[in-house]
Amino acid sequence: MHLSHVGTNKICFLLSLAFCALLVLLIPSLQPPQRQTDLPQPRPRAKPARHDLYGNPGQGSHGAKDGSFIHPLPPGGRPQDPQRMLEGDAAHANPPGSRSKDSLDLRDIFIAVKTTRKYHRSRLQLLSQTWVSKAKEQTFIFTDGEDKELKQKAGLNIINTNCSAAHTRQALCCKMSVEYDKFIESQKKWFCHVDDDNYVILPNLLELLSSYSHTQDVYLGRPSLDHPIEAAERVKSDGSVSVKFWFATGGAGFCISRGLALKMSPWASLGNFITTAEKIRLPDDCTVGYIIEALLEVPLTHTGLFHSHLENLQRLPTDNILKQVTLSYGGFENRRNVVSVGGVFSLAEDPSRFKTVHCLLYPDTEWCPRKTRH
């Protein structure tokens, strides 16, 4: 009786031991699988009804998981066909119901203008006379040399980056790196970069950004190519594999939401941008695209509302010019490349057409001819 009692206890003890061992073995397989990598994963879009600016819904130009990239081409059109892009834009610049509820103020936008000492007089003066005068508080001019005359101009935010004044990849990436850091410091909701030969139509920029949330991952701009760029992957691997990604051309301007800009920090902040650019050996705007599309897997939202002088600006229909977000001027196939807008100043008086655009937008400006004023 006593012996059999001891035997039962032993069996019970052994059984509970076996049960515990089984539990210990089972626990790891009940855990959720570990992430393969520490890289940020793409977030699903919070607004499923989002249109890109060609009028294509939602998915945009997602870099597919298999490494292939799908570009939201308009039916029968190429991204560099301004006529096609405009048709899409005119219809979809403000997709119905896409406005977010919290209203955006111009003061929420950080506008970085990239310039260089030699263009202070020829290019910056025109900007400070025109659109920059309407957005003095939030426009920051990133240059590379001291200029007392420019400093004395009331209200301009001038940042001497101390970067080299050369037109080299290193010098331009140095400026972009400072632009990024200053934006992060500013606490503003949107980062927009433009060149010193861009006109920004501020109300349209505000309207465009208002249809997105700055807390989402948003990278808005215009590609200069009709295909993604390919580069050797030297950040995540040793350069033996290549990576394809879209980038927004800096000469047309681009915007990045604060939410996304913060995620770029490991590769962009405090000089890391220069290291990243050096690794992939590409210019500043390509490096931005690389960080966002290739490393963070956030697709560029292609827009036809931003313009550089790499496209034929004469092809922008006159009626649509004031509906755009950025304009530019420059040489195009050895000819003057400017938007076709008339009625205020002659080509001789206003070769870039920026003064004419400005007077059509703000006719009460004191230097605008009386006939454009109300």
H or E stretch at 232: strand 229-232
Q: Choose the binding region for Mn ion from 18-26, 85-93, 208-216, 246-254 (rule: CB under 5 A).
A: 246-254
The option from ligand UDP, Mn ion, none interacting with 165 (CB < 5 to 8 A, set by class) reads ligand UDP
364 annotated as a binding-site residue: no
Place of tokens 């501020």: 202
Q: Which structure tokens are listed for 65?
A: 């998981």
Closer to Mn ion by CB, 87 or 197: give it.
Answer: 197
Q: Residue 181 catalytic?
A: no
Count of residues for the chain?
Answer: 374
Q: Is 106 left (phi over 0), alpha (psi -120 to 50) or beta?
A: alpha
Size of the site for Mn ion (CB under 5 A): 2
| Angstrom distance (rounded) from CA 80 to CA 91 | 18
Place of tokens 């606490």: 187
120 annotated as a binding-site residue: no
Find the shortest distance in angstroms from Cβ 270 to ligand UDP.
21
Q: Does 196 bind Mn ion (CB under 5 A)?
A: no
197 annotated as a binding-site residue: yes
CA atoms within 13 A on the CB side of 307: 31
Q: How many Å from the N-terminal Cα to the C-terminal Cα in the chain? A: 113
Find the shortest distance in angstroms from Cβ 89 to ligand UDP.
22
| Beta carbons of 214 and 189 less than 8 angstroms apart | yes
Residues in contact with ligand UDP by CB under 6 A are 114-116, 119, 165-167, 172, 175, 195-197, 251
Alpha helices of 214-334 — where are they, by DSSP H? 258-263, 265-268, 272-280, 284-289, 318-321
167 annotated as a binding-site residue: no
Among 89, 108, 144, 197, binds Mn ion (CB under 5 A): 197
Q: Choose the binding region for Mn ion from 152-160, 173-181, 197-205, 206-214 (rule: CB under 5 A).
A: 197-205
The option from ligand UDP, Mn ion, none interacting with 166 (CB < 5 to 8 A, set by class) reads ligand UDP
Q: How many CB atoms lie within 10 A of CB 340?
A: 12
Find the shortest distance in angstroms from Cβ 301 to ligand UDP.
22
- Using CB under 5 A, which residues numbered 303 to 362 contact Mn ion? none
Written as one string, the DSSP assignment of 173-209 is HHHHHHHHHHHHHHT-SEEEEEETTEEE-HHHHHHHH
Per annotation, catalytic residue among 285, 319, 350, 364: 285
Q: Choose the binding region for Mn ion from 53-61, 182-190, 235-243, 250-258 (rule: CB under 5 A).
A: 250-258
| Sign of the C-alpha dihedral computed for residues 237, 242, 246 and 252 taken in this order | positive
Find the shortest distance in angstroms from Cβ 343 to Mn ion.
26
Find the shortest distance in angstroms from Cβ 88 to ligand UDP.
25
Indicate the annotated binding residues for Mn(2+). 197, 309
Active site residues: 285
Site residues (vs Mn ion, CB under 5 A): 197, 251
Feature table: binding site for substrate: 123, 196
